[in-house]
Structure 1
Amino acid sequence: MTDHRASFDARITFGNGGDLAVHGFRVDLPGPDAAEDEIAALFVASLGLLMTDGVELDNVEIFAEPHKGTRGGPSDRAAQAAPAAGGALVELARPPADGGTYLVAPGGDLTGLPLARTAELPAVVVRVAGAEAREIGVGALAAFDVRGRAVLLHTGAPGGGRLTPEAASWLAGRGASLVGTDADGLDGLDGVGGSAALDVLLAAGVPVVERLAGLDRLPPTGAVFTAAPPLQEGVGRVPVRAFARVPEA
């Protein structure tokens, strides 16, 4: 099968200020019909860029060429290190006096939620606290391998950043096991956009944990996350005690 790559110019803006421009950059593609948003995500992943707010591509050319091993690309076969079994436990739940921490189950029924989707998940922490933008888009996520992981959004505020529906689809499509946030909800407090991101994730079978605490105490990768709910038939949102085990230094 023929390999394909893309060449392009790009300008990236970051949520915490600043920008980056490149010319003639190349990434591996899964096929000749890759869309520009997929190329942009591969570009961000290849450089491991964090807090990316937006990516603009120009002069995109797709051509046949052997893959060079783009990070996060189709030929990237790097083994993911398993999180260490030992380490300290970190409390991530808010106390009841502060409103608690909640898990929302797909289908509105906790009995249909496998433990594998909520317990002992390798975690990635996406830090967007202090970002100027109010939205969390694909650019903020693209640097992370999210398959089989708990993706924890560290927004730093109850209102937090609003996860866009496109970003929710990206997470679901790449196999995230769970999405959590320290905000009161994925869609912010102002109700802008309704509950689109939450609906996208639940429809894809991805549980969501809201109102987390202590995400600043977790490393970007390497922690193991748990927020297992009780088995309650016909109940879709319950308080949980979320926690993580962090690797020893």
Structure 2
Amino acid sequence: MSSKRVVFDFDIAFTNGGGIQGQDFRLDIDGDTITDKELADYIVNDMQLLMVRKVDIINKHYITEAHKRKPVNLKADEKLVDLSHTIFDGLVTYKGLPAPIICDYLSREQSKVNYEEGTEFQIGKITMVTNTGTYIDCPFHRFEHGKDLSEVALEQFADLDAVTINAKDAIEIGKEYFVGKELRNKAVLVFTNWAKHWNTELYFENHPYLTGEAAQYLKECQVKLVGIDSHNIDDTRGKSRPVHTTLLGAEILITEHLCNLDKLPENGYKFNAVPPKFKGAGTFPVRAYASLG
């Protein structure tokens, strides 16, 4: 069976001088097209080149021809999984809290008076509460003298060994979901499948949550962070918040409103959820993601 191949020339320049060229290279691809950037990255990685300054792809075209080896499938090789919801103007993350306002502070049209033709800029303005979208909670969110975003060490947000706990379709998530798991010093991400209701009325009602006993168990296991793809890690039907109190009191961070947890393996990956370094704030949106490789 015939498949697509890309044919191209390339010219590579190095930061320490010199360069190499290639003509009429042929590469099997999985799909109909491949970008110049993807081709350049492939060449540099495959040839194990160092100190590359510039890669020019020249005379690129496609042919239909039987593949000679396993095709390049860049999408299959992607190792990052986005675990964050998109924040947009008017998004309601938590009923009773104002939605974000996202607008221009300086529009491109307005900026034309300040710059030469073809050099327009946009400067945005965002007004929002810190509990917006996918966010992380630090101890200051719950405790007046707890560490705020600026005081928590970077290594508590980034490059954390992680495990996924499958609590799909459960509402009350107790200690039994965590017993027998390797949890110490890890980010524990609880998959409930509740993210499927994001930005709907169903998201706010009867959502999954952890029990106080589960939080105490996680504290005893000395986990670093606990995340959930639900409206709140606590049961919001009452006025107490035992999970927030237990975890944040032990300086265990909390990430709420995650998504795409169904795309994660049970273990063997890294979790990242880094917020800006604000003083005097205990919660802020993050671009949470997992690194699978």
Structures share a fold, TM > 0.5? yes
Tell me, yes or no, if structure 1 residue 153 matches structure 2 residue 170.
no
Whole-angstrom CA distance in 1 between matches of 2:156 and 2:193 = 25
Summarize the Cα distance change of 1:175–1:221 in structure 2 as closer, same or farther, 3 Å threshold.
Answer: same
Distance 2:270 2:168 in 1: 21
Q: CA deviation at 1:87?
A: 6.1
1:228–1:242: 8 Å Cα contact kept in structure 2?
Answer: yes
Deviations 1:116-173 (A, max 9, x none): 2110011111111123xx2111111112111111000111114542211111111111
Which stretches in structure 2 are left out of the alignment for 5+ residues?
1-76, 94-132, 142-147, 195-202
Q: Secondary structure at the match of 2:150?
A: helix
Larger radius of gyration between Structure 1 and Structure 2: 2
Instruction: Tell me, yes or no, if the aligned pair for 1:87 and 1:245 is still in contact at 8 Å.
Output: no
244, 247, 253: which is aligned to 1:207? 253
Give the distance between the partners of 2:213 and 2:169, measured in 1 at CA.
22
Tell me which amino acid in the other structure corresponds to 1:171.
Answer: L
**Structure 1 residue runs of 4 or more that deviate by more than 6 Å after TM superposition:** none
- Answer whether contact 2:209 2:230 (CA < 8 A) is retained: no
For 1:144 and 1:114, the matched residues in 2 are separated by 26
Residue 230 of structure 2 corresponds to which residue in structure 1? 183
1:237 aligns with 2:283: yes
Q: Give 2:65's aligned residue.
A: none
Among 210, 224, 227, the alignment partner of 1:163 is: 210
**Contact 1:187 / 1:193 at 8 angstroms: preserved in 2?**
no
Q: Secondary structure at the match of 2:231?
A: coil
Which amino acid letter does the alignment assign opposite residue 220 of structure 2? G
Where 1:110 maps in the other structure, the secondary structure is coil
Q: Which residue of 2 aligns with 1:173?
A: 220
- In the comparison of the two structures, how many residue pairs are matched? 159
Farther-moved stretch of structure 1 (159-168 vs 178-187):
159-168
TM-score with structure 2 setting the length: 0.52
Cα distance in structure 2, aligned partners of 1:145 and 1:230: 30
Matches within 5 A, 1:43-122: 88-97=79-88, 99=93, 100-108=133-141, 109-122=148-161
Q: Distance in 2 between matches of 1:125 and 1:193?
A: 28
In structure 1, list runs of 5 or more residues that go unmatched.
1-85
